[in-house]
């Protein structure tokens, strides 16, 4: 299984928590983790030690800024917004499929079914949170971005990538030109560009399973006619995503799944402090 992250020094500890949750709940013979970064992370030694203990193959990738020489880059559009969109430019050619994950999530069940899903000629698989808002928002996004063929507006925090197809289709110049032309109408630049240019090439996956917005548990309960309760989430949801500004690693966070996140973070701290042989993970 190949996983992709794009982080800076501010969230290196959150990367460890996310990886720990994956190893615990999604066993695989080989786990290769590629981490895009603008410069070498300050916690690189700790990350490497952690990955060795969990038998993860860690691949740091320092992104070469030359690719952005013709890109619109400023305070609102830093180089980092292009990392996920142009990941195929930095990854090894032999990597044909990879799962991109935001770092602010937990994997609480097996990723295997998502990772192995057939994609045929589609570029991506992703979830939409449209049901949590309303159809007016969907129509507004189609009008704003100009992609009327897209099934929905997709969240890019969990993104299965068909790299063989992406290498043939996704061009840096198309992305740069689109941002130049539409910059005043973009709210979430990289996610907006993904939906505008490639939304019609995305397979829709259920968000209650693969991109559960942890802020919206009450709405999920209503949408599922009471079925999608806490017990259902623990048994069936694969990815809990802590979207938004409030994050579970902050002391003031009081969301429904805060205790679950803090438990995983605590286990990571214990693992890193321990010495001797590799701790049992279960």
The pLDDT tens digits of the residues spanning 69-85 come to 888 877 666 788 889 99
Is there a domain that residue 139 lies in? Answer: yes
Alpha helices in the chain (DSSP H): 12-25, 44-53, 112-115, 135-145, 163-169, 172-182, 189-198, 207-210, 217-223, 230-236, 258-273
Q: What is the C-alpha separation between 153 and 127, in angstroms, rounded?
A: 9
Is there a domain that residue 235 lies in? Answer: yes
Is there a domain that residue 282 lies in? Answer: no
Is there a domain that residue 281 lies in? Answer: no
Does 138 score more than 80 pLDDT? Answer: no
CATH number at residue 61: 3.90.550.10
Is there a domain that residue 85 lies in? Answer: yes
Is there a domain that residue 184 lies in? Answer: yes
User: What does the pLDDT read at residue 256?
Assistant: 93
The pLDDT tens digits of the residues spanning 164-215 come to 999 999 999 999 998 888 876 777 778 889 999 999 999 999 999 999 999 9
User: Which residues have C-beta within 8 Å of that of residue 255, sequence separation ≥ 6?
Assistant: 214, 215, 242, 246, 248
Is there a domain that residue 280 lies in? Answer: no
pTM > 0.85: yes or no: yes
Q: Which domain holds residue 205?
A: 2-273
User: What does the pLDDT read at residue 155?
Assistant: 92
In total, the chain counts a number of residues equal to: 282
Is there a domain that residue 279 lies in? Answer: no
Contact by Cβ (8 Å): 167, 88: yes
Number of domains in the chain: 1
The pLDDT tens digits of the residues spanning 246-274 come to 999 999 998 999 999 999 999 999 998 88
Q: Which residue has the higher pLDDT, 27 or 163?
A: 163
């Amino acid at each position: 299984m190949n996983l992709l992250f794009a982080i800076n020094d501010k969230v290196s500890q959150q990367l460890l928590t996310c990886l720990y949750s994956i190893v615990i709940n999604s066993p695989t013979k080989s786990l290769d983790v590629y981490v895009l970064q603008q410069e070498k992370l300050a916690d690189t030694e700790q990350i490497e030690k952690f990955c060795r203990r969990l038998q993860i193959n860690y691949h740091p990738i320092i992104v070469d800024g030359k690719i952005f020489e013709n890109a619109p880059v400023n305070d609102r559009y830093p180089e980092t917004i292009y990392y996920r969109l142009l990941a195929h430019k930095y990854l090894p050619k032999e990597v044909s499929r990879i799962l991109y994950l935001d770092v602010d999530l937990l994997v609480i069940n097996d990723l295997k079914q998502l990772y192995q899903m057939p994609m045929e000629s589609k570029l991506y698989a992703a979830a939409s949170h449209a049901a949590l808002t309303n159809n007016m928002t969907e129509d507004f996004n189609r009008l704003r971005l100009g992609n009327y063929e897209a099934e929905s507006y997709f969240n890019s925090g969990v993104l299965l990538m068909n790299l063989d197809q992406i290498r043939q289709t996704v061009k840096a110049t198309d992305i740069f030109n689109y941002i130049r032309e539409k910059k005043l109408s973009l709210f979430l630049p990289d996610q907006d560009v993904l939906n505008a240019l490639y939304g019609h090439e995305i397979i829709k996956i259920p968000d209650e399973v693969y991109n559960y917005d942890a802020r919206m548990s009450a709405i999920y309960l209503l949408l599922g006619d009471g079925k999608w309760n806490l017990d259902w989430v623990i048994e069936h949801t694969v990815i809990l995503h802590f979207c938004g500004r409030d994050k579970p690693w902050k002391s003031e966070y009081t969301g429904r799944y805060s205790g679950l996140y803090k438990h995983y973070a605590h286990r990571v701290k214990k693992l890193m402090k321990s010495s001797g042989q590799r701790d049992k993970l279960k």
